[in-house]
Amino acid sequence: ECGHVSVSAPIVHLGDPITASCIIKQNCSHLDLEPQILWRLGAELQPGGRQQRLSDGTQQSTITLPHLNHTRAFLSCCLNWGNSLQILDQVELRAGYPPAIPRNLSCLMNLTTSSLICQWEPGPETHLPTSFTLKSFKSRGNCQTQGDSILDCVPEDGQSHCSIPRRHLLLYQNMGIWVQAENALGTSMSPQLCLQPMDVVKLEPPMLRTMDPSPEAAPPQAGCLQLCWEPWQPALHINQKCELRHKPQSGEASWALVGPLPLEALRYELCGLLPATAYTLQIRCIRWPLPGHWSNWSPSLELRTTER
């Protein structure tokens, strides 16, 4: 090995100086006695190398790049040999920023996958390989005291969400959760959340249906609609309240809200509507009286009121 490059730090803050040194051994054959060492950053030669001959005969050149403004570049130690530039060694330089504090950490308990899904905003680009880890622990009180740690949740590359599986969760106990971001230039941590997984449950809405025509049932009155809804099965064990919204399909009317409504209705008559009008209806539910998040609105159901 003829030449060897070493650097003060292969990764620096963007714009910071970086110092490198290249040593060319005396026994590197075919060379002049005192070869002139050249530096190349990317494809550009860099002036300012300070060369000296060491006691053991090796040649050493040191260069300081005052501001490394490339997020990624290769610094080569070269010399002229005959009429050609010869590269003897090369080092990869990286520059970027330490991770910002991850923001807006939030979590939802998903009953379909039985997992706690947390997401966050990673913050500005660091230009460096940056790892995010969702950390959490069980807690007796309100997360001031740390109980058993829960296995770190490592998101897939580039993702800003992670799922903690059911087997690591105590659904009805507090847990402290935060995100840690780390790269070569530093570590940062989001503010800590303290929550019980079931208190951030987000349900799926019930399924709205039209009433099957039945001889026993009276037909809907004018300006009324008859409908029913079936609860979302994985949440049957959860007390919920629901609300319905409706609006005429045509025109600019805004949604009208009806609620609170029960989780399940085998038959529901909605009145006070315009006769002979097509309506769009949606329903959503929330865990209640215990805390939770509103489900999304259900897919729309389109019904038409009868003539007067």
Binding site for another protein (CB under 8 A): 114, 140, 166-167, 170-173, 198, 236-239, 289-290
Which residue's CB is nearer to another protein, number 245 or number 287?
287
Half-sphere exposure of 181 (CA within 13 A, CB side): 28
Structure token digits, residue 249:
């399909």
Which residue's CB is nearer to another protein, number 63 or number 198?
198
Least separation in angstroms between CB 14 and another protein: 47
Least separation in angstroms between CB 140 and another protein: 7
| 3-class DSSP state of 203 | coil
Which residue's CB is nearer to another protein, number 204 or number 227?
204
Least separation in angstroms between CB 118 and another protein: 19
Which residue's CB is nearer to another protein, number 82 or number 289?
289
Whole-angstrom Cα distance, residue 281 to residue 225?
Answer: 10
Least separation in angstroms between CB 234 and another protein: 9
Residues contacting residue 98 through CB under 8 Å, at least 6 positions apart? 13, 126, 183, 185, 186, 187, 188
Q: Torsion angle, CA of 43/46/51/56, rounded to 10 degrees? A: -20
Least separation in angstroms between CB 232 and another protein: 13
Instruction: Write the single-letter amino acid at 74.
Output: F
Task: Decide if 294 contacts 253 (C-beta within 8 A).
Answer: no
Kindly report the number of other CB atoms within 10 A of residue 173's CB atom.
Answer: 13
Task: Decide if 261 contacts 267 (C-beta within 8 A).
Answer: no
The values of phi and psi at residue 77, to 5°, are -100, 120
Least separation in angstroms between CB 175 and another protein: 12
Which residue's CB is nearer to another protein, number 219 or number 289?
289
Which residue's CB is nearer to another protein, number 165 or number 299?
165
Please, is 164 exposed, middle or buried when counting C-beta atoms within 10 Å of its C-beta (0-12, 13-18, 19+)? buried
Which residue's CB is nearer to another protein, number 69 or number 239?
239
Least separation in angstroms between CB 167 and another protein: 6
Task: Decide if 198 contacts 192 (C-beta within 8 A).
Answer: no
At CA 158, angle to CA 18 and CA 105, rounded to 5? 105
